[in-house]
Structure 1
């Protein structure tokens, strides 16, 4: 199955409902990414969502739901445990003037991400094949995001060396993770919780924004 006019219409309407106005180029790039995801998912098992008709809402629009919170932070972002590229690739398309590093320890997934970078000509995207604990960037990131990556405790502990007191940690979750918040490391604090309303998604979606004291 390939990308259809219905997918394009769902993306445009869903983005509009989220308050995100896409340029023609951004719409084309997002649909190009969707086409690559559908094609590679057959062999590489990039995401648990197998039905292309579910991918617009559960991958593209879910990623775009955090656009306002990324817009508030700086220019240098890390998507940790990026997997099939969510939310990093849609965010890189939406913010071409910012840098996005996509990190994953799975070689098949980073090969896919590199192919997306090349085919969509995303010059602001860097793909890193590494375990997060072993990754040492030149400078702290302004923002570190994750989507269905790990518990909040692991997310904080594994990435603490990648940020500083100015960094925002954005954890995209389903049901509000009360138990995980109880286990948050002492030097991390929750600064905001946002309920995300993703067009076409039935389940709960939450964004937790963390800061680290230095």
Structure 2
């Protein structure tokens, strides 16, 4: 695990400790998730990093407890991370983590993704456990710059979701979708990353 996170190990540990201490109390993570925090949440979130260009501007939609947005901000300090979250208590949490860990590459947006349509655009938009692909695409693809990508963490049904969303994706200008199934660290559960490229 330590080798996987490399230079980001200390701040990732700090974030994990904050989640262990306060995550359940603040309604960010269920009690059953705490034993699976590393494999299911932190490693899973970091798996997105290789799909993002160097020094890119990235919007993470529905950041919640900080997956994958805060993890990406920690493991990829070259990125400019914009965390988009509509719930006030979650924004308060994200703000606390950013301040305590000292992340200077994060901007918080207390908003729904649709409120940023036509105002902002990004090289990549990330999302995890936000909505089914059809709905997620409507919220996120308008924020993606031409040639940029939506990078979504999905479950076992990723291919079915893409199939159900194919007309919406086409209408939104998505020209290519790929599904990547990864196991970045031995012994953790498989991570599914869907990449949708906008023309």
**Normalised TM-score (structure 2):** 0.87
Structure 2 unaligned regions, length at least 5 = none
Within-5 A mapping of 1:19-38: 22-23=6-7, 26-38=8-20
Residue deviations 1:92-115 (CA, integer Å, cap 9, x gap): 111212200111111111110000
Tell me the distance in 1 between the aligned counterparts of 2:121 and 2:55. 11
**1:91 and 2:72 correspond:** yes
Query: 2:85–2:109: 8 Å Cα contact kept in structure 1?
Result: yes
Query: 1:171–1:207: 8 Å Cα contact kept in structure 2?
Result: yes
Give the alignment partner of residue 151 of structure 2, picking from 160, 170, 183.
170
For residue 43 of structure 1, what is the aligned residue in structure 2? Answer: 25
**Equivalent residue of 1:167, what SS?**
strand
RMSD, aligned CA: 2.0
**Hey, which of these two has a bigger chunk of strand by percent?**
2
**1:110 and 2:91 correspond:** yes
Structure 1 unaligned regions, length at least 5 = 1-10, 16-20
Within-5 A mapping of 1:171-210: 171-182=152-163, 183-184=165-166, 185=168, 186=170, 187-199=173-185, 200-202=187-189, 204-210=190-196
From the superposition, tell whether residues 74 and 138 of structure 1 become closer, same or farther in structure 2 (CA, over 3 Å): farther
Query: CA shift at 1:207, angstroms?
Result: 0.9
Give the paired residue count.
Answer: 193
